[in-house]
């Protein structure tokens, strides 16, 4: 979405407005002027690259960063070494995500020495950790800009501060209750888009760092959400993905409380939107009302991502998930009864502190009973500051690795069986791209999120077509348009 602002008309001789988003429009105008001057000095256009780590929420945030960079006059570059502005939108949900960022920063330092116009920005979840910022201040002085998850809307203002001050700019907020609407964003796909419906998380699962780095749960006003979706539809978007850490608790803190199911019913009415997806659902909050709305909806996709994390009630309690194995399995039964062709996916952690072989067997039991279409499996990663990090009985690496391998094998063999049940049927498919390996093929997505490759061309991208699914190749199909 792009807001229609004539930045040239903004009077920069006046002080910056206090109100948002007007304040940010002012700084976008100011940054445009500064970037133009720099570009004239360099004798060439200046370029940027946005690198995103982590989840869909970060992917959406990156579209907002990209929107601002485009508005202030940077041009997209696809190679990091050639870009004048490199921004990393970081993730910290597992330790290896942090390590990857440090590794890449080391390489960028050399590139920066050779390019006087180069700036490096870091933002996202990892920056909300005080130890990270301390380390950057001490050992990574060549970084220009550091900000967190709560103030990305201020990106243009921070760039101006940096350009006017010639020093490392750091701006991290602990939390916020503010949601700034109507800022520019640049969509990665023309035909589908993520839409934030809420920010933050109040659940404090004992292994998870998200509540500490994304702050308390706050929902966007339904009117703002509908307005954004209407604009997206007018712009040619046919599929939207509603984003929140726990969409099932949407609306709780609003002045006029609304349930997630009610929000979905409103979104269903928007003409032009053909498919509605959402993530993530917490099993403890998934209501009967939501199942009913999904069952009768024509637009909500037949796919539910329902993270189980563990199959052992004992471990679920230590994880502070607030449901039992039985509650989860009953919920799955209820969903399958109401919507038989629903595809279910999940997240599973192995090696949580204190997990015994018996606990692990309970997880395998859930996997066999639910028969997931696919599952993201993770090795438990200790996150400093979370309750689980100081729990006794951290599990030895070799034991965890062995369980992880066994789990993966089980998940994969079940999912290839589950996936193949649609062989021979005709399904609606949203064409997303040309096939990466064979340009006579296109790649599309079924309502249940499975991919299918079939003969086609670039012009079909963004349209929904009928495809006969000929063969299943484990996680995807080969098919033909009918």
Closest distance between ligand SF4 and the C-beta of residue 210, in Å? 4
- What's the length of the chain? 482
| Closer Cβ to ligand 5AD, 376 or 475, answer by number | 376
- Of residues 267-296, which lie at the interface with ligand SF4 (CB under 6 A)? 282
Number of shown-chain residues binding ligand 5AD (CB under 6 A): 12
Instruction: Specify the stretch interacting with ligand 5AD by CB under 6 A; choose among 23-31, 373-381, 444-452, 453-461.
Output: 373-381
Q: Which residue, 27, 29, 22, is CA-closest to 6?
A: 29
Phi, psi of 281 (to 5 degrees): -100, 130
Closest distance between ligand 5AD and the C-beta of residue 350, in Å? 9
Closest distance between ligand 5AD and the C-beta of residue 42, in Å? 41
Q: Which residue is nearest to ligand 5AD (CB)?
A: 347
Please tell me the distance from the alpha carbon of residue 138 to that of residue 148, in angstroms, as a whole number.
18
Interaction of residue 155 with ligand 5AD, rule CB under 6 A: no
Interaction of residue 307 with ligand 5AD, rule CB under 6 A: yes
Pick what 316 binds: ligand 5AD, ligand SF4, none; C-beta below 5 to 8 Å, kind-dependent.
none
Closest distance between ligand SF4 and the C-beta of residue 201, in Å? 3
From 381, 443, 447, 448, residue interacting with ligand 5AD (rule: CB under 6 A): 381
Interaction of residue 94 with ligand 5AD, rule CB under 6 A: yes
What's the DSSP call for residue 174? S
Pick what 128 binds: ligand 5AD, ligand SF4, none; C-beta below 5 to 8 Å, kind-dependent.
none
Please tell me the distance from the alpha carbon of residue 29 to that of residue 33, in angstroms, as a whole number.
7
Helix (H, G, I), strand (E, B) or coil at 451: strand
From 21, 211, 354, 462, residue interacting with ligand SF4 (rule: CB under 6 A): 211
| Closer Cβ to ligand 5AD, 52 or 443, answer by number | 52
Phi, psi of 333 (to 5 degrees): -60, -45
Please tell me the distance from the alpha carbon of residue 62 to that of residue 56, in angstroms, as a whole number.
10
Q: Which value, to the nearest 10 degrees, does the dihedral of the CA atoms of residues 73, 77, 80, 84 take?
A: -30
From 149, 185, 203, 248, residue interacting with ligand SF4 (rule: CB under 6 A): 203
CB 157 within 8 A of CB 145: no
Interaction of residue 319 with ligand 5AD, rule CB under 6 A: no
| Closer Cβ to ligand 5AD, 191 or 207, answer by number | 207
Number of continuous H segments (helices) and E segments (strands) in the chain = 13, 19
Interaction of residue 128 with ligand 5AD, rule CB under 6 A: no
**CB-based contacts of 17: which residues, under 8 Å, 6+ apart?**
23, 26
Interaction of residue 347 with ligand 5AD, rule CB under 6 A: yes
Residue 204 gets the label, from left (phi > 0), alpha (psi -120 to 50) or beta, of: left
Interaction of residue 208 with ligand SF4, rule CB under 6 A: yes
Q: Which residue, 313, 403, 414, 300, is CA-closest to 351?
A: 403
CA atoms within 13 A on the CB side of 395: 22
Interaction of residue 149 with ligand 5AD, rule CB under 6 A: no
From 349, 400, 442, 472, residue interacting with ligand 5AD (rule: CB under 6 A): 349
Please tell me the distance from the alpha carbon of residue 207 to that of residue 391, in angstroms, as a whole number.
10
Q: Which residue, 313, 376, 385, is CA-closest to 350?
A: 376
What's the DSSP call for residue 300? B
From 245, 346, 377, 448, residue interacting with ligand SF4 (rule: CB under 6 A): 245
| Closer Cβ to ligand SF4, 24 or 312, answer by number | 312
| Closer Cβ to ligand 5AD, 27 or 404, answer by number | 404
Phi, psi of 477 (to 5 degrees): -115, 160
Token pair 């429009």 is found at 25
Radius of gyration for the chain, computed over Cα atoms and rounded to the nearest angstrom: 23
| Closer Cβ to ligand SF4, 39 or 98, answer by number | 98
Residues that bind ligand 5AD (CB under 6 A): 93-94, 207-208, 307, 309, 347, 349, 378, 380-381, 383
Residues that bind ligand SF4 (CB under 6 A): 201, 203-205, 208, 210-211, 245-246, 282
């Amino acid at each position: 979405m792009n807001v229609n602002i004539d930045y040239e008309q903004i009077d920069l001789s006046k002080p910056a407005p206090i109100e948002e988003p007007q304040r940010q429009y002012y700084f976008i105008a100011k940054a445009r002027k500064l970037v133009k001057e720099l570009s004239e000095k360099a004798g060439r256009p200046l370029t940027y690259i946005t690198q995103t780590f982590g989840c869909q929420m970060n992917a959406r945030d990156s579209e907002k960063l990209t929107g601002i960079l485009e508005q202030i006059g940077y041009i997209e570059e696809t190679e990091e070494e050639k870009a004048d502005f490199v921004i990393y939108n970081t993730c910290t949900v597992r330790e290896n995500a942090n390590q990857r960022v440090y590794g890449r920063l080391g390489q960028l330092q050399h590139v920066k020495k050779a390019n006087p116009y180069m700036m490096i920005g870091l933002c996202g979840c990892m920056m909300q950790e005080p130890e990270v910022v301390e380390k950057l201040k001490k050992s990574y002085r060549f970084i220009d800009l550091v900000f967190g998850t709560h103030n990305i809307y201020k990106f243009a203002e921070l760039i101006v501060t940096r350009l006017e001050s010639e020093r490392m700019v750091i701006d991290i907020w602990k939390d916020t209750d503010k949601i700034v609407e109507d800022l520019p964003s640049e969509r990665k796909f023309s035909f589908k888009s993520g839409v934030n419906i809420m920010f933050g998380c109040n659940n404090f699962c004992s292994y998870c760092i998200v509540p500490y780095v994304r702050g308390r749960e706050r929902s966007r006003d339904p009117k703002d959400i509908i307005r954004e979706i209407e604009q997206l539809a007018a712009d040619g978007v046919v599929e939207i993905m509603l984003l929140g850490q726990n969409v099932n608790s949407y609306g709780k803190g609003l002045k006029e409380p609304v349930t997630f199911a009610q929000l979905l019913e409103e979104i269903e009415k928007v003409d032009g939107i053909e498919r509605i997806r959402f993530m993530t659902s917490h099993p403890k909050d998934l209501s009967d009302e939501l199942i009913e709305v999904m069952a009768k909806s024509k637009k909500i996709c037949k796919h539910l991502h329902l993270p189980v994390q563990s199959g052992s009630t004992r471990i679920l309690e230590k994880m502070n998930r607030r449901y039992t194995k039985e509650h989860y399995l009953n919920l799955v039964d209820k969903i399958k009864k109401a919507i038989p062709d629903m595809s279910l996916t999940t997240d599973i952690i192995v090696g949580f502190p204190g997990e015994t072989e018996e606990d692990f067997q309970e997880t395998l039991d859930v996997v066999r009973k639910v028969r997931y279409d696919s599952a993201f499996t993770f090795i438990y990663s200790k996150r400093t500051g979370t309750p689980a990090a100081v729990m006794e009985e951290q599990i030895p690496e070799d034991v965890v690795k062995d369980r992880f391998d066994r789990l993966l094998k089980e998940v994969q063999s079940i999912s290839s069986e589950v996936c193949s049940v649609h062989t021979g049927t005709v399904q609606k498919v949203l064409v997303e791209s040309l096939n990466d390996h064979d340009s006579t093929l296109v790649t599309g997505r079924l309502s249940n999120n499975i991919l299918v490759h079939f003969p086609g061309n670039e012009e079909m991208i963004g349209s929904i077509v009928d495809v006969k699914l000929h063969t299943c190749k484990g996680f995807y199909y080969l098919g033909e348009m009918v």
